[in-house]
Amino acid sequence: MLGLFDVSKKSELLPLIHEQFLPLKYCGRFDELLSLVNKYEDVLLSAKVDPAQIFYGYEVAGLYSLRAKFCENFSRWVDPNDPVFDQRNIANMRLIADEAVLNHAWVKKYASHMRVLSLGQLCLPYNILGRWGLNRCVGMHNAMTPFDLGITNQDLLADAICTKFGAYLNRDNYYERPDQYGAPQLWNRYLGIYFGHERGRSLLGSNYDLFFEGMQSKIDAFYSAVNEGPCLFVYAIAGPCSPNKIIDAMVPYLKDGRSRMLMLNLTREKFSVKLNSQHVRYVDVPYPVDYAWNEPLGFASERGFAFESKVVSEVKHEMLKIL
């Protein structure tokens, strides 16, 4: 379809471009995503449609400067006194884009020797780190770990670390069943979770060897990052867990003094945490009502922007301790 029409003259065809971003990301085809963004750069930069998908496409590809340029262009079409387009706060999206450019440049100059790794409990840390320019490996599929887009509710993180991801690798633990939307997904009966971001058969087909190959690659990427150099591990508590059990499991990765761990309690529950390592910091940062970290309606709102700014500040504070 893209070869049959001039998309620059038919804005209604723009979804043919940006609706490919998400599947290309989850399939790990970042080269194709980057090629698509580059090919239609002029069309995307001048688009006057819902900016969410285009904002996301540049983010996933790690094209922070182009994303900032897109936001600058889009800002010209909204009232500076009321910068909301289709319920998205364009002013805050632009602020995030501009800050990400500065953060990414700072990471490349001063923190290129370290990795900031998400440990779950959900994909919030990975998404915020990428959105705000603190993930130096954004756009690199072979650098993604099982925790980036996975769920580690309860104490699954401790189990994964202590068993070297045994439950993730055991094929007998998996079965297929529909998710809440009716799409076929792979579920892990031992972990009690499904792998929604992999999108099951809808992206991988019925050959689940691709899923297990991808999982092994993510596990290898985790150990590679840990062994290469200092890491800042970011663990976001979004539900029930035993923080002390998590910390105990991570101590072996902190004992050399090079790496640190930041625990962010996103809930309003108070945990009793014994910091048995001087390299662990625990902070209460409850996320706001009606906030969604994967939707501009949430993260670009006033409350969402303030919350993510706080998270980013805490992450950078810990990164400075490693430098």
The tokens describing 74, both together, are: 């889009």
What is the maximum alpha-carbon separation in the chain? Answer: 63
Q: Domain residues of the chain, as ranges?
A: 7-107, 113-322
Residue 276: what pLDDT? 73
Q: What is the sign of the dihedral through the CA atoms of 50, 55, 57 and 60?
A: negative
Confidence of residue 165 (pLDDT cuts 50, 70, 90): very high
The tokens describing 82, both together, are: 């009321």
Residue 31: what pLDDT? 83
Q: Are 167 and 188 in contact (CB under 8 A)?
A: yes
The tokens describing 246, both together, are: 């998590």
DSSP state of 263: E
Confidence of residue 179 (pLDDT cuts 50, 70, 90): confident
Confidence of residue 34 (pLDDT cuts 50, 70, 90): confident
- What confidence tens digit (pLDDT) does each residue in 67-83 have? 999 899 889 889 989 99
- What confidence tens digit (pLDDT) does each residue in 122-163 have? 999 999 999 999 999 988 888 999 999 888 888 999 999 999
In this prediction, residues 111-123 reach a mean pLDDT of 94
Residues facing residue 88 across a β-bridge: 85
Radius of gyration of the chain (CA): 20
In this prediction, residues 265-293 reach a mean pLDDT of 91
The span from the CA of 265 to the CA of 135, in Å, is 21
The reported pTM is 0.90
Mean predicted lDDT score pLDDT of the chain: 88
Lowest model confidence (mean pLDDT) among 19-23, 188-192, 274-278: 19-23
Distance from CA of residue 203 to its chain's centroid? 19
Confidence of residue 184 (pLDDT cuts 50, 70, 90): confident
Q: Please indicate whether residue 86 or residue 236 has the higher confidence score (pLDDT).
A: 236
